Structure 1
Amino acid sequence: MKLTPQTALIHAPRKAPQFINTVQAPLFRASTIIFENTDALFNRHWTDDYDYSYGTHGTPTTFTLGDHIAQIEGGKYCLLAPSGLSAINLVNSCFLSHGDEVWVADNIYGPNMEHLRNLETRYGIDVKVYNPIDADSFQPSEKAKLLWLEAAGSVTLEFPDLINLVKKAKSKNILTALDNTWGAGLAFNAFDFSDEHLSVDVSVHALTKYPSGGGDILMGSVVTRDKALHHKLFRTHAIQGISISGDDAAQVQRSLASMQIRYQHQSNSALHVLQWLKTQEAFAQVLHPADPDNISHQYWKDTCQTEQSAGLVSVIFKPEYDMNAIRKFCDHLKLFKLGFSWGGPVSLVMLYKLDDMRHLDHSHLQKGILVRFCIGLEDADDLIADIQQALKAL
């Protein structure tokens, strides 16, 4: 059949072979996916491991990234979402219904709490708060369906009593979901983190942080080991039309090879900065779970199979320094940039008023304004010098 020039542009008569071996996997961009014939159209099911039916279900690019994230986290199945918060919301909307009880740690990621409070108001979800370092404060009723864990909390950095909390939840058939962004699948295995081979049911990860590594991609993941759980999540994922860009997936995939090296470097730098921060008179308390003086240090030690930890260190200024003074300190920093998130090449700083964030007793934390340092890839001694010169502004 002879084609006009316009049609030949769309249905090219000559086509280069589609697959070659390269260092980076080929990038597939797709909304429509072409079926070879009607057998291929009808002899498929949405539960197939690789269901190539429409771009929202997945492409080789997104499935490759999902497989690698599942491997890093110690799981089997992975779903990708356009942000960490989107991945969290997928879990909440999949497993919670009217009248259900959900338990969250007092140091939970703020937007997750905000989302759950919205569900509580609009749909009758009952939100309960527990102390992450006191497993006895987790007192679920028969309505409890989901326990959220965060290891460690992203601001005050308490590492939870993960072992006892998960044991308690499992004894009552309560689903456990872990926000594993801090550990990134590297500090410990969420699906096997104790001698008893304890496992969470679902691990959620903001790939925006360490997997991306560039501070320029938004993405989240939901990883499981159980196929039935995965299918339930995938059904909600499909119904809600959750999908990610193939370009973004390729960018994160490209960064995975260096993630372990970056995580280790930022962990080492954070510990180096931590030791210096503990010598400074302006701080009432320095917070990091790997610090032996930290109240949750033993829980971190019991859970983490490595000496690695995320590059986050928080400090609480002494009460004599008010918000104006702390703002002045932050504004005088040169290398630390004021911004949310972590895991990228540039060090970040953010300030918080603890009393506005906590719901339960937090007497283990000193009074004062908290500042969180997110350590990037700069030299640790340069970062120390930056903090030191900014302290003079006080």
Structure 2
Amino acid sequence: MRVLFVHQNFPGQYRHVAPALAARPGTEVVALGINPAPALPGVRHLRYAVPGRSTAGIHPLAASFETATLRGEAAARAGLALKAEGFAPDVICGHSGWGETLFLKDVWPGARLLTFAEFFYAATGADSGFDPEFPPAEGDAWRTRARNAGQLVAFEASDRLVSPTAWQASRIPAAFRDRLSIIHDGIDTDLLRPDPGARITLGRDRLSLGAGDEVVTFVNRNLEPYRGYHSFMRALPEILRRRPRARAVIVGGSDTSYGARPPAGRASHHRTWRDIFLDEVKADLDLSRVHFVGKIPYRDYVDLLRISAVHVYLTYPFVLSWSMLEAMALGACVVGSATPPVEEVIRDRRNGILVDFFSAAAIAEAVVAALADPGTVAPLRAAARQTALAYDLRRVCLPAHLRLIDEVAAGRGA
């Protein structure tokens, strides 16, 4: 079997699937991407470039589709070069979000296309318009609908689709759900297991922290409203006031991953969302107990979550972060927002604690209560670990992905 993976930031969601396929005798695996990628055993990685930029003066509602088309054309031309070498994939696996898969079935009409359908945007019922602090601007609903144009073309060309959670799958238009499977990317629960002896060292003062210390953790790729950074920061003064031994360790960059950047007026004296919401509350904070550590090595991140007394995970109704499931696998007490798809995984007071995304008071109360009574949350930690095992990479999710690819190659439907 020959398999082609297409992802602008390969390996992305295919970090484990691609080398697992490559390890099979008689299987050839090629990957196309834009950015540099780590070498994966048995995977031939080729980069392609997107020539040019969106047309100056193009209608704003058409801009996202033109961008997707440019990427799709570039990926298709890279595909033509592969075809000229004699490469003909049986299965193409690609992400629908950027347009890369748009024309690949035209390059290889006989190939089967398995599309990773991560998130289908909508003007209501999900991230858009969720946060009243950042209301949609006039025309945002039109832009959201237009933004989906590339995905709709990609879905129509697909033989099968896969989404990581039931809620994300439910956002896919009904016309395509009969070809949709739900398989999470998977987390390595062998690596991600509790360790009561774990310790971390913070900062120039070489502050050593371990199990038993009141460490409150908060992790984002970047610190921004989409992932509840503003709600967490507004809860933090009360948490630290009521728990004088508690410390907050905040992991994440200062850029923007998903939502809008700070508006010009709001950002006139600030560069980032991180600074905006820190400045809002810092007069009420003991900053010696607030540790912004930026982006840290994965090993340090794992040890941090191992010693976490309470891990706070907040999100708009959007894509579920790997970090929440990783924290659960590590036996953390997760205080999570009562938003989808968090509610799909966390059952309140059974394997974690659910709170109102917008209520700083509720977030603070939940964290303080968990810090004050570790014995009460110990069963939640154990249950969180058990829940995470249902998302195990090696024993659950990776085998399911491989079975799905085999089904697609064989031409079997959903």
Normalising to structure 1: TM-score of the pair?
Answer: 0.33
Larger relative contact order (C-alpha < 8 A, sep ≥ 6)? 1
Q: Which has the higher helix share?
A: 2
